[in-house]
Amino acid sequence: MECVICRNGTTSAGFDTLSFEKNGHLVVIRNVPGEVCDNCGHFYIDSVAALALQKKAKKAISDGADLEILQYS
């Protein structure tokens, strides 16, 4: 697809690391699948991945982690 940010690149399958911060808690999730723009590097995820990320981050925070580094799987 055409990148909606730079409008000059196209996206292809790739992986990225995303982080979430809430009330002093930091959750980092590595190897998240998505689409990456070949021009600007903007990373896109689909709704399935977004829900999985949200669930993992909420669980880590509710378990009391101040810093949690997870693998997307």
Question: What CATH number does the domain containing 65 carry?
Answer: 3.10.20.860
Which one-letter DSSP state was computed for residue 23?
T
With tokens 């669980």, the residue in question is: 59
pLDDT greater than 90 at residue 48:
yes
In a domain, 6, yes or no: no
Within 13 Å, how many C-alpha atoms sit on residue 32's CB side? 26
Q: Give the pLDDT score at 73.
A: 84
> How confident is the model over 5-26, as pLDDT tens digits?
999 999 999 999 999 999 999 9
User: How many domains, the chain?
Assistant: 1
Measured between alpha carbons, how far is 30 from 41 in angstroms, rounded to an integer? 16
Mean pLDDT of the region 50-67: 94
Joined tokens for residue 65: 């982690």
In a domain, 1, yes or no: no
In a domain, 4, yes or no: no
Measured between alpha carbons, how far is 10 from 34 in angstroms, rounded to an integer? 13
Share of the chain above pLDDT 70, in %: 100
Share of the chain above pLDDT 90, in %: 97
Joined tokens for residue 19: 């982080």
* Domain extent at residue 21: 11-71
pLDDT greater than 90 at residue 66:
yes
In a domain, 35, yes or no: yes
